[in-house]
Amino acid sequence: MVNELRELMREASASPPQDRTDLTAVLGRGRRRVRVRRVAIAGGTSLAAGAIALGSLAWTNPAPADLAAAGVPRPAGPTVRLTEATPAVEGQDYRELASHTNDDLDSDNGQYFDGVTDDGLVLFRDGPRSTQLYPRFALLDPATGEKDWLTEARDIGQSQLWAVELSEQRLVLVSPGEPVESGDDLAMALTAHVYDRASDTWDTLRWTGLPATDGPWGARVGPDGRLYVPVLATRGEVPEGGWPMGPDGEADDADAEGDTYDLWSVSLTEQRDVRDEGLRVGAFAFTQDALVWTDSQNGDAGRVHVRDLATGEETSFDPALGERCNLLGFSAAGDRIAMSQYCGTYEGGVRDDRVQVVTTDGDQVMTVQDSGVEGGQLVGGGDYLTMTAYDRATGGTYLYDFEEGRLLRLGDGTSAWNVAAGPAPGDQLLWSTPAGSKVELFGRSGATAHLGEIIR
> Quick one: pLDDT at residue 251?
87
* b/e map 298-316, b = 16+ CB within 10 Å: bbbbbebbbbeeeeeeeee
**What is d(CA 302, CA 318) in angstroms, rounded to the nearest whole number?**
7
Tens digits of per-residue pLDDT, 364-393? 999 999 999 999 999 999 999 999 999 888
> Quick one: pLDDT at residue 439?
65
Tens digits of per-residue pLDDT, 93-151? 999 999 999 998 888 889 999 999 999 999 999 988 888 888 999 999 999 999 999 99
CB 294 within 8 A of CB 285: no
> Quick one: pLDDT at residue 441?
52
**What is d(CA 414, CA 206) in angstroms, rounded to the nearest whole number?**
36
- Give the chain's count of helices (H) and strands (E): 4, 29
Q: Which amino acid is present at 282?
A: G
The pTM score is 0.87
Measuring CA to CA, which residue among 102, 109, 103 is closest to residue 7? 109
Low-confidence ranges of the chain (pLDDT < 70): 1-61, 181-186, 438-443
Tens digits of per-residue pLDDT, 150-177? 999 878 877 788 999 999 999 999 998 7
Q: Peptide bond before 176: cis, by omega within 30 degrees of 0?
A: no
**What is d(CA 101, CA 385) in angstroms, rounded to the nearest whole number?**
25
70 Cα distance to chain centroid? 28
Counting beta carbons within 10 angstroms of the beta carbon of residue 211, is it exposed (0 to 12), middle (13 to 18) or buried (19 or more)?
middle
